[in-house]
Chains A and B, each alone.
Chain A
């Protein structure tokens, strides 16, 4: 029996859009320091799941608890324990980079924000942009600012949707390092991405969704046991096997038919 504290608990979560079932009876738990790789084909329900956990979408079916707080009943405290980084972060165009950090720190009750802000801006190479308006930042810089805002809040759980979009190679390496550091410090991370190599490199657990249903949850090693034909294969091969996209549908040269 796992006695570690539960940072995120999702039980029987479902979500429908009109007649379409986007997520169907999803359940899983996460513990401190875990990095969950959330993968699945387009339309699998990844972003819907992340946005619901983040409190952007209301929980209609099932139960979600963050750091022990029920997201439906104790929304404020549940949200205080996590931070959401959407796939295309949109900073406030009239706030400077430094003011974004000041604002986020106040929002999440962080008093000693200034020194940490300086440190984060230096770490994410945004020091020179501290007085730039949010609306003046490039795609990659917006992503870095979103990281800084998430990090400054010192959350127990960070949700990231395609976190490396728009970053240059140096930014990608730095972001990967920072995500690992964050997890090492005890923060739980959910990483949703189509970059399976990234998931394979960073994630300690995998959650594979397909058409709203969970088709696998566990470590990469457990996945290899579950899909013995891919026992020596990469996550990409496991992904195709799990989602039925299939190796069968890929010809000998690796190109989809």
Chain B
């Protein structure tokens, strides 16, 4: 009786959660901003979908059965690998941080909790299954069978993954002394890498490594019949048989097998009699931490300050006043928490520099071209990827606002460290190019000198927009439609403002050189001075605007 009550309560909880989700969506759409961004987002997503689904306007080519089977096996193998990898890192039962304490302490049987979790996972898989099933079925000789096969496979995988998570958790509980010390993340990472390496290298092409296939069909036949491929694809046989079935007689037996596997897992996984609570708490806390980082825009590019950085001292480059203190605080955070991001950024800049060096002989023009590529690509990548500004401080903007500093100064001081670091990295890249090419063309200085303006303008626009309408990004965010629309608006705004700023700054030189036909020395010198003054004015205006937006920031109203 009690067990039934628990199940009913969970079902009610799920219904309420769904209703809450749709209410939130509806609330977003009711505001002019939400509706506009959703409309733009829907347009972007529709265009992408149409592009994927319709290609160039003609229907996609229907694949031969062997080729279809090969693709199906490959796809299922990839998804199974991801599922296994995820089971290694997320052992136990994952529940949201907000749910876990109340659900674990409630009089609900563990099996009911597992079923609740499975239902949530199945709903998500169903959406994925419907989408991929539709795309896949368009290339199958019998679309309906292919669709049913793929959907059933994608619905079975989460059950398998959950079972594996629980079994692994149980194994860890039993062998906690030994297994708990193992670096599971690295093990799962190594598994994935090994699989990739094995597939790509491990004896796969040895016998016929240099065989020349006269047609794609021969290549596909070779792959489909290769014992390695056959062995890897063996576990997926029933689903692949469904997807490639040509008639009902060849579809129904494997499909019933798939249904039986699904039903068995659905019944068996909740009955795995283990205590998953401790592992689940760890998993949920870990996921919550990652989500929190993701929502602060830091998923890919920020970690936590490691103990080894305690003694690192960051100089107070902007002085010991309030402005310098804010810039210093941000610089310390970047230095201690974002080493990996800057290392990656540095590697990318080095890569571009290296490519430029390899691709051209030492020459002054090549140095300029390379510098422009490094400056353009570096600014684009680093500004897009690094967010060590207000976007990582959303929770703290309230506190920042209580500081005794004018909003524009607070805005500028927060952006300066990131600007200096990005500009410094690009300047080093350009310096490397100049050294290699032996070129000390003054135009390189103009390139290097213009980077801080571009970086500051870019981050100022992004941050002003963010403060005007803050957003939490990352997984489990239910405003995806608005986010897509917002990204489009931001891209347009950024491009327009940067183009106008650069155009206005370049205008004096163009006037002096082409309209007044003054000598180069005069037109370049005067153009540079006036251009820099205009740039300073433009950047100042953007910073002032950012300050105004920061001043109007109202946490209860603006923080999502």
Contact = CB atoms under 8 A, between A and B. Distances in A.
B557 A84 contact: no
B216 interface: no
B402 A79 contact: yes
Contacts of A48: 556
Given A58-B554, A90-B396, A135 B305 contact: yes
A103 B405 CA distance: 13
Interface string B83-94: 000000000000
Contacts of A92: 329, 333, 396
Interface stretch (A49-57, A119-127, A171-179, A188-196): A49-57
B395 interface: yes
A100 B96 CA distance: 32
A57 B554 contact: yes
Contact of B321 (A86, A95, A109, A135): A109
Interface string A217-234: 000000000000000000
Contacts of A55: 401-402
Nearest to A111: B320
B354 interface: no
B402 A56 contact: yes
A99 B405 CA distance: 19
Interface in A229-251: none
Interface of B is mostly: helix
A94 B406 contact: no
A208 B316 CA distance: 45
Interface in B328-360: 328-329, 332-333, 336-337
A57 B404 contact: no
Contacts of B552: 58
Interface string B47-84: 00000000000000000000000000000000000000
B214 to A, nearest CB: 60
B399 interface: yes
Contact of B403 (A79, A95, A111): A79
Contact of B551 (A58, A103, A106, A135): A58
Interface residues of A, number: 32
Contacts of B401: 55-56
Interface string B122-141: 00000000000000000000
Given A56-B398, A56-B399, A106-B324, A94 B405 contact: no
A133 B310 contact: yes
Interface residues of B, number: 35
B325 interface: yes
Contact of B305 (A80, A90, A93): A93
A108 interface: yes
Given A58-B554, A135-B304, A135-B305, A94 B402 contact: no
Interface in A128-176: 131, 133, 135
B320 A107 contact: no
A80 B310 contact: no
Contact of B404 (A95, A107, A111): A107
B296 to A, nearest CB: 11
B326 interface: yes
B325 A54 contact: no
A77 interface: yes
B253 to A, nearest CB: 58
A77 B555 CA distance: 22
Given A51-B398, A99-B332, A56 B322 contact: no
A76 interface: yes
11 contacts: A56-B401, A57-B398, A58-B554, A76-B404, A93-B337, A95-B333, A99-B332, A106-B324, A106-B325, A107-B404, A135-B305
Given A17-B556, A76-B404, A84-B399, 12 more contacts: A51-B398, A56-B399, A58-B551, A58-B554, A79-B403, A94-B304, A94-B305, A95-B332, A99-B332, A106-B322, A131-B310, A135-B304
Interface of A: 17, 48, 51, 54-58, 75-80, 84, 86, 90, 92-96, 99, 103, 106-109, 111, 131, 133, 135
Interface of B: 304-305, 309-311, 316, 320-322, 324-326, 328-329, 332-333, 336-337, 395-396, 398-399, 401-407, 551-552, 554-557
Top 5 closest pairs, chain A to chain B, by CB: A106-B325, A80-B404, A79-B404, A94-B305, A94-B336
